[in-house]
Amino acid sequence: MKNGGEVFADFTTSRIIRSLEASEPLSEHQKLLVRDVLLAESAAQRHSVDIRLFVPLIFRNYYFCIFAGRDRRRSTLNLQAARWFRTRRRFSRLVLLFLLLCGSIIFGAVLIWGAYRLKSWLGIDLIPGWHFSEFVANLFAFEVE
């Protein structure tokens, strides 16, 4: 009886051969090399404990899998954590940039408003007969005819 890796290698090899048959058929040597690569890959991924149970019932089938072994995911988990940190850092930079932009706009508006109020308080008339407050009032005033 074949183990799971051999079944997977045979199935995948047959699908590769079928899909390439019309355009570029593989030689027997190439087929064996593909199967060997798939077997080597499945051998590298074996667990110390690999229990697979299949329970056929009347209307449904159930399976149970128990795997145990050395944790080989450490580098993948570290890479995911680094990506998450970079994403969070990039997001916090965007939020900081947005807040700085909003703060700069508000600060600039308050500064211009303060300079205008100071100019008005001192009685300085830069453009005779024109006032910014009247301009803003006329800008937002709606005339209904």
Question: How far is 91 from 78, CA to CA, in rounded Å?
Answer: 20
Position 145 pLDDT exceeds 60 = no
Question: How far is 75 from 88, CA to CA, in rounded Å?
Answer: 20
Question: Using one digit for the tens of pLDDT, what is the confidence trace for 50-82?
Answer: 788 888 888 888 888 888 887 777 788 888 888
**Nearest residue to 34 via CA among 18, 50, 23:** 18
Which residues, including other chains, have CB under 8 Å from residue 61's CB and lie 6 or more apart? Answer: 54, 55
pTM of the shown model: 0.35
* pLDDT in the model for residue 42: 63
How does residue 41 score in pLDDT terms, banded at 50, 70 and 90? confident
Position 110 pLDDT exceeds 90 = yes
Mean pLDDT over residues 78-90, rounded? 81
How does residue 144 score in pLDDT terms, banded at 50, 70 and 90? low
How does residue 100 score in pLDDT terms, banded at 50, 70 and 90? very high
Question: How does 75-87 read in b/e, with b if 16+ C-beta sit within 10 Å?
Answer: eeeeeeeeeeeee
Position 103 pLDDT exceeds 70 = yes
Position 46 pLDDT exceeds 80 = no
Position 45 pLDDT exceeds 70 = no
